[in-house]
């Protein structure tokens, strides 16, 4: 009888221990973080995840004559361009920045359901900044205004090329998604999906 009592006591103690362990070790109920906090933290991460690319190219430039109202002035202007033959060549260096416009990102771009969150990224932004200290103007008889036109033409051409580069845009997107997914997982979400369109439902 005594042995039975000891067995029952051991079983009871084990049951109590298991209950205590379950109470203290069970996963805490998930509480969705405040949307405003999530948005602000995502903006901070996105600022750090802008893809930067170094560019360079040799460009040439021949300015177009400006038109005037007077026919003879036009003739003289064309003649001066023909005689002087203004032209310029330069090796232009620049930095391209590819990122997402998170200034336009708010809670309407998120849809949270339990531990799942869907994210609609804002439009991608491409900017190009020239590096004047490394740019080399060669074989040029352009004045300062024409040289500025040459460099602006090069900057716009760089920007257009980057906007059309699917590989660079995909790389920028993957980098941003990777960092944002890591952030959202640390906030308690277990499923993070980047979507082209948010599903119907209540925004997070």
Instruction: For residue 14, tell me if it sits in a domain.
Output: no
Instruction: For residue 23, tell me if it sits in a domain.
Output: no
Alpha carbon of 87 to those of 76, 82, 140: distances in Å?
A: 18, 11, 6
**Sign, CA torsion 184/188/191/196:** negative
Instruction: For residue 152, tell me if it sits in a domain.
Output: yes
Reduced to 3 states (helix: H, G, I; strand: E, B; else coil), residue 191 is strand
Over residues 33-54, the mean pLDDT reads 81
Over residues 82-94, the mean pLDDT reads 76
Over residues 171-177, the mean pLDDT reads 91
**HEC letters along 82-113:** HHHCCCEEEEEEEEEEEEECHHHCCHHHEEEE
Our count of domains for the chain comes to 1
Instruction: For residue 19, tell me if it sits in a domain.
Output: no
| Residue 98 contacts residue 126 (beta carbons within 8 Å) | yes
| Residue 162 contacts residue 168 (beta carbons within 8 Å) | yes
Residue 80: per-residue pLDDT: 59
Least confident of 44-48, 83-87, 115-119, 160-164: 83-87
Number of CB atoms found within 10 A of residue 19's CB: 10
Instruction: For residue 11, tell me if it sits in a domain.
Output: no
pTM here? 0.66
pLDDT at residue 79 greater than cutoff 70? no
Over residues 49-55, the mean pLDDT reads 84
Instruction: For residue 24, tell me if it sits in a domain.
Output: no
pLDDT band for position 203 (50/70/90)?
A: very low
pLDDT band for position 123 (50/70/90)?
A: very high
Higher pLDDT, 25 or 195: 195
Residue 58: per-residue pLDDT: 80
Q: Alpha helices, DSSP H only, in the chain?
A: 2-25, 35-48, 71-84, 144-163, 166-186
| pLDDT tens digit sequence for 91-103 | 889 999 999 988 8
The parent domain of residue 52 ranges over 31-194
pLDDT at residue 29 greater than cutoff 80? no
Over residues 175-193, the mean pLDDT reads 90
Instruction: For residue 142, tell me if it sits in a domain.
Output: yes
Instruction: For residue 45, tell me if it sits in a domain.
Output: yes
């Amino acid at each position: 009888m005594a042995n039975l009592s000891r067995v029952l006591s051991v079983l009871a103690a084990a049951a109590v221990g298991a209950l205590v362990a379950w109470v203290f070790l069970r996963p805490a109920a998930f509480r969705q973080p405040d949307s405003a906090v999530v948005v602000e933290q995502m903006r901070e991460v996105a600022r750090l995840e802008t893809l930067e690319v170094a560019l360079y190219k040799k460009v040439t430039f021949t300015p177009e004559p400006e038109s005037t109202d007077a026919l003879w002035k036009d003739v003289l202007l064309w003649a001066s361009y023909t005689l002087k033959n203004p032209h310029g060549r330069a090796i232009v260096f620049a930095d391209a920045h590819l990122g997402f416009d998170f200034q336009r990102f708010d809670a309407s771009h998120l849809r949270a359901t339990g531990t799942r969150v869907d994210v609609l990224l804002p439009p991608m932004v491409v900017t190009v900044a020239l590096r004047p200290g490394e740019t080399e103007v060669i074989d040029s008889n352009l004045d300062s205004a024409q040289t500025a036109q040459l460099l602006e033409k090069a900057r716009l051409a760089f920007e257009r090329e980057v906007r059309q580069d699917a590989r660079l845009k995909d790389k920028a997107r993957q980098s941003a998604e990777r960092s944002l997914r890591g952030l959202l997982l640390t906030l308690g979400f277990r499923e993070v999906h980047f979507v082209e369109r948010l599903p119907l439902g209540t925004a997070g």
